[in-house]
Structure 1
Amino acid sequence: MKTKLLVLCFVLISISAFAQDYIFGKVRSEFGAEMSNAIIINTRTEEKVSSDKDGNYMIAARISDELRFVKSGYDRISVKISNEHYSAPVNVSLPKSAYLIEEIELAFTPTGNLKKDSKLLDAPKRLVALQGSLDAYMKSPMQEAVPQATTIPSAFKPKDLGEGTISLLSVGSGGSSGLLSAVAGLIRPSKRDQQTAANYSETQAFYRRVKAEIDLSFYWSRGWTEEDLDRFLIYADNSYSLAKKYRKSFDIAAISSDMKMAYIEYIKTHKVGT
C-alpha cells in the first residue's frame, strides 16, 4: 500500500513539474491589437516560437529564465520568469519603434529649355561681384554730413495728445503701482498664446493620443494598416503642424478636419491600402 502511495505521489509531482515547464500568454501592440508572427525566445535554451494569428504563444521555461519578445518594427521586451508567471498568462505589449523618414535631395534636372534652365544655373561672376560691391556700399557708414535742424518750427511739431488730459497713472498714491503694472501688462505682448514647435516626445505622445481618441474608421475602411497610418500622421503633421497646434489643446473636430484635408493631398502622391 505504501509503495502504491509513493508511486502515486511521484507521478503527481512529475505531472505538476511538467505543467510548470510551460509559459502561456498573448502578444499585442501598444494599442491592443493582437500581434501574429512575433518571435518569443528563451535565452537560456535558445528555443524560439512564434505567436499565432490571435497573438497566442506557448514556450517551455524554468524559473529565472529570460523570455525575449521580438517583432520587426517594434521595440524588444524581456520578461524574467518567476513563480507567479505559472499561475497566470504572461501577456506583453510591444511599443512601436520610432523611425525617421529618409531625406530627399533635390538636384537640378535640365529640361532642355535654355531660357528656363539658365535661370537655375549659377549667376555670372561679374554679376556676383557687382552685387557684392553694392551690398558692401549699402552697409558702409555715410561719408556726407546730414543737415540737422536745431529746433523744430511750432507748425511742424507733433500734437501732444495728452495735453489737457489727466494721467490715470498719477491718480491715487496707494494704487498707482498696481495701476501701472496693469497698464504695462496690457501693453506688453502676451507670450502664453505663442505656439512653439513640439519636441520628439511631445510629438510621439500626440500621435498616440490621435490613435486613441480620434475616430479613424475612415482610414481603416480603406484597408490601411497601422504602418500606413503612422506614415500618414507624419505627413499630416509636417503639412498642417498638428502637434504644434493641438498637443496642448486637443481639439478633436479641428484635428479631424485637418487630417481630412491632408488626406486629399496625401493620396495624390502615395499609394496605400487596397
Structure 2
Amino acid sequence: MKLCTTIQEMRQERARLGAVGFVPTMGFLHEGHLSLVRRARAENEAVIVSLFVNPIQFGSADDLANYPRALERDVALLREEGVACVFAPEAAAFYPEGFATQVNPEGVALELEGPSRPGHFAGVATVLTKFFNIIQPQRAYFGQKDAQQCAVVRRFVKDLNIPVEIITLPTWREKDGVAGSSRNSRLTEAERLQAPVLYQALCRARDLVQAGERRRAVLETAMRDVLVQAGLTEIDYATVVDPETFQAKETFTEGALALLAVRLGAVRLIDNMPLLPVP
C-alpha cells in the first residue's frame, strides 16, 4: 500500500492503477468507513482512501482543532483491508497561499444543515471536486448517515459533469443503534449512554409510518417527544423531508426521510432514516 502526502505523488500513483473506487474520509476510521472500503474493493480494481481533515468545511476553529485524528492507526487498518493507496495531504499544500476558488452548491444545500452550518457544503463540494480531479475515480462511496451531504454531492457531480458514479451505502450502526461517527469518540460516558435515543426517535417515526401515519407534524412531534423525554433538549431539528429536495411537505405519500440533529454536550450528532421509498 502506498501512502501519498502530496498531489504530485497521488497523481503518479493513480497513473499506475486501473479502475479506482474512492472512499473520502476525514480519518479516525470506524467500522462504517471500513464497510465502504470493502464494498469499493469488491467493485473496483483498486481502492484509494483519503485521510484529510478538511479545514474549510468547519464552522469554528474549536471544532476543527477537536476533531479526532489517528493517522498511524488509520493507515494500519487500511493496509489490512487491501487498500492500494492512502492520500493524506497537508492542508497548507492542498490549499496553498492565494487559494481563492470554491464550489458553492445551492438547491438542496440550502436546507437544514445549510443554515445550521454556514459554508459547510461549500467546503465539502470544494474538497471533493479537488479530490475527484486529482484521483479521477470511476466510483466514490459515501454513507447514508450523511444523507444531505450525499444529495449535495450527487447534485454538483451531475451539474458539473464530473465523470464519477456516486454510491451511497446504508448507515452502519453500533449494536445499540447509534450511527457510526468519528465524533462519537468525543462523547462522555454519560452522553454515549444517551446517544441511542436518536435512533429510538427515528424508529418511532418509522413505526408510525408503518401504521399508516403520513402527516409531517405528527411525525416530528413524536420524534421530539422521544428526545425530550430522554433529556435531549438541544435539538437543531427533528423533521421529515423529501429525500431528493430536502424540503418539507405537510403530508407524505412517498419519498419521506426523517432527520435529526441533536447536541449532546459539546458534540453535535446527526442521524436519519428512510420512512417511505422514492418511486
Query: TM-score normalised by the shorter chain: which range applies?
Result: under 0.3
Q: Which protein has greater RCO, CA pairs closer than 8 Å, 6+ apart?
A: 2
TM-score by length of 2: 0.26
User: Which has a greater percent of strand?
Assistant: 2
**Quick check: which has more Rg, 1 or 2?**
1
